[in-house]
A and B are shown apart, each in its own frame.
Chain A
Amino acid sequence: MLPKNDKAYVEMVKRLLPSLKRREKGPYAIFECFQEIPCNPCLTACRKGAVDIFIDINHLPIINYEKCNGCALCVIACPGLACFVIDETYTKTETSIKLPYELLPLPKAGQEVEALDRQGNVVGKAMVIRVQNHKKMDHTCIIAIAVLKEQSLVVRNIRY
């Protein structure tokens, strides 16, 4: 069952996180994929071999954080738009989050936007760091935003 509120959701996501040591090293992917459905593009898209091979396509993907370098290929590949890349080393006070984004108009780098949680509630502000949108991404853009560190696991969308 999909968690009813954000707090429960954050608790589920916390269990996916790599070790503190790995988090201090730089960007890493997280897959907010909690339901077994027949799907594997994250596995086939990853060029680092960082998604543990699962033979049964219904199994949930598990990331090998020794291999994941936070490149965000999975963010574009996931049909469920459930992959995000977190970089807790972005600045002393801020985390950067790479979000999959398929709405128009696209924000611009340097733009201040509203930060939303998984229920669509505004939980603060975010700064757009970078917008990636090239042909190969086929309209699933990657928006990199900076949010306060304590919101790393809360912010999953933007509005402006």
Chain B
Amino acid sequence: MQSTEIAIIGGGPAGMCAAQAAAEQGARVTLIDRGKQLGGQLVKQTHRFFGSEYEYAGIRGIHIANILEDAVRKLDNIEIKIDSTVLAIYGDGVITIEEGENYKKLTSKKTIISTGASEKMLVFTNNDLPGVYGAGAVQTLMNEHGVIPGENVLMIGAGNIGLIVSYQLIQAGVKVAAVIEAAPQFGGYHVHAAKIKRIGVPILTSHTIKEAIGKEFVEGAVICRLDANWKQIAGTEKKLDVDVICLAVGLSPLVELLWHAGCQMKYVPQPGGYVALRDRDLQTTVPGIYIAGDASGVEEASSAMIEGKIAGLSAAEALGYNKNASHMKAKYMEEINILRAGNVGKKVREGLKMLAV
């Protein structure tokens, strides 16, 4: 059995920032990620990020992944386990890990869960045909492995992910036939929409997909209009000759480990489903278990990084490490509040109100 002071589960933007923050305080950290490399979703984000210079605004996500990983690897008191999937957190605090081909056990004094989120599915006829992708899968194929998913794409969902992935598809030389959105207004940033609009991609609001067409794989899609009550309007069906249907219909926090650890959970729609109650330090109702990033509620990578720093500092502080920790934490709290202060942060603020303990 191995032991560590702080185990961090998930090596995306939140997990890496948590590891750095905690290790810089002096704590011994084990950072665990199931992927073959650190970075989480950042490694697929080829676009420049928003936010302020503190969260690397203006820099592409792929480069931010490198910056954060370099910082983590420079610290001797961080042990990195990649290709390592955490299977469970048991009542006695034992964390079990499938590390490559091996089954390992780890105990920790504090644990930060930064496992990210998973994509939501949408119900429509033939949604199991090959050619129906999640937007994350399209990004993995295209931006990590250099493989295009098809020739002509129907994007479902005009939130930031749907808009960004549409743009990335066009950059990869793939045609995007349309982006459809069930809501009467698209949810993503206007500037992301403007980028694909001026390339000529229509964004059809109050539209949904009825069915995917094809026997062995996707050969088309039928879309239709929705009325004010989100009911399909008969006679408005339109067939599109696409070979890829890409779903970008939202994310849900990945919270299985939080359930397993016995954290008090609550269903709150704004952060994307079941999430853990937390205090200001991002500690859950189970003492010693902290959350950060999308696992604590779906938000931007910029806030995930700051949450990581707060959780990392809190965990280290609770272990008695304190190199100006409370002052730094206050600064990060202020930073994240500023990011969440505007109109687009309204949903996040509403969600957080319901989750505070």
Contact = CB atoms under 8 A, between A and B. Distances in A.
Interface of A: 1-2, 32-41, 44-45, 56-58, 77-82, 102-104, 116-121, 138, 140, 156-157, 159
B330 interface: no
Given A2-B194, A118-B198, A120-B200, A79 B48 contact: yes
Interface stretch (B77-85, B267-275, B334-342): B334-342
Given A39-B50, A39-B51, A80-B195, A116 B200 contact: yes
B341 A102 contact: no
Contacts of A78: 58, 191
A56 B48 CA distance: 20
Contacts of A40: 51-53, 57
Contact of A58 (B171, B190, B341): B341
B196 to A, nearest CB: 9
Given A35-B191, A57-B338, A82-B191, A120 B197 contact: yes
Given A1-B185, A80-B192, A102-B171, A45 B198 contact: no
A38 B50 contact: yes
A82 B191 CA distance: 6
Nearest to A40: B52
Interface of B: 47-53, 57-58, 60, 63, 170-171, 185, 189-195, 197-201, 300, 302, 338-345
A79 B53 CA distance: 12
Nearest to A44: B53
A157 B50 contact: no
Contacts of A80: 50, 189-192, 194-195
A140 B185 CA distance: 29
Nearest to A39: B50
Contacts of A41: 48, 53, 57-58
A78 B50 CA distance: 8
Given A33-B191, A118-B198, A79 B52 contact: no
Contacts of A156: 198
B343 A58 contact: yes
Contacts of A57: 51-52, 338-339, 341-342
Given A2-B193, A81-B195, A82-B191, A38 B342 contact: yes
Contacts of A103: 170-171, 199
27 contacts: A2-B190, A33-B191, A35-B343, A37-B189, A38-B302, A38-B338, A38-B344, A39-B57, A40-B51, A40-B52, A41-B57, A44-B52, A56-B342, A57-B341, A58-B341, A58-B342, A58-B344, A79-B48, A79-B50, A80-B194, A81-B195, A103-B171, A117-B198, A118-B194, A118-B197, A120-B201, A157-B198
Nearest first, the 6 closest Cβ-Cβ pairs linking A and B are A120-B200, A80-B191, A58-B342, A41-B58, A79-B48, A39-B50
Given A2-B193, A36-B342, A119 B50 contact: no
B353 to A, nearest CB: 19
A38 B191 contact: no
Contact of A35 (B52, B63, B171, B189): B189
B20 to A, nearest CB: 22
A35 B201 CA distance: 20
B60 A138 contact: yes
A119 B200 contact: yes
A80 B198 CA distance: 13
B342 A45 contact: no
Most buried by B among A1, A80, A157: A80
Contacts of A38: 50-52, 300, 302, 338-342, 344-345
Most buried by B among A33, A38, A118, A120: A38
A37 B194 CA distance: 15
Most buried by A among B52, B191, B345: B191
A117 B340 CA distance: 33
A120 B199 contact: yes
Contacts of B189: 35, 37, 80
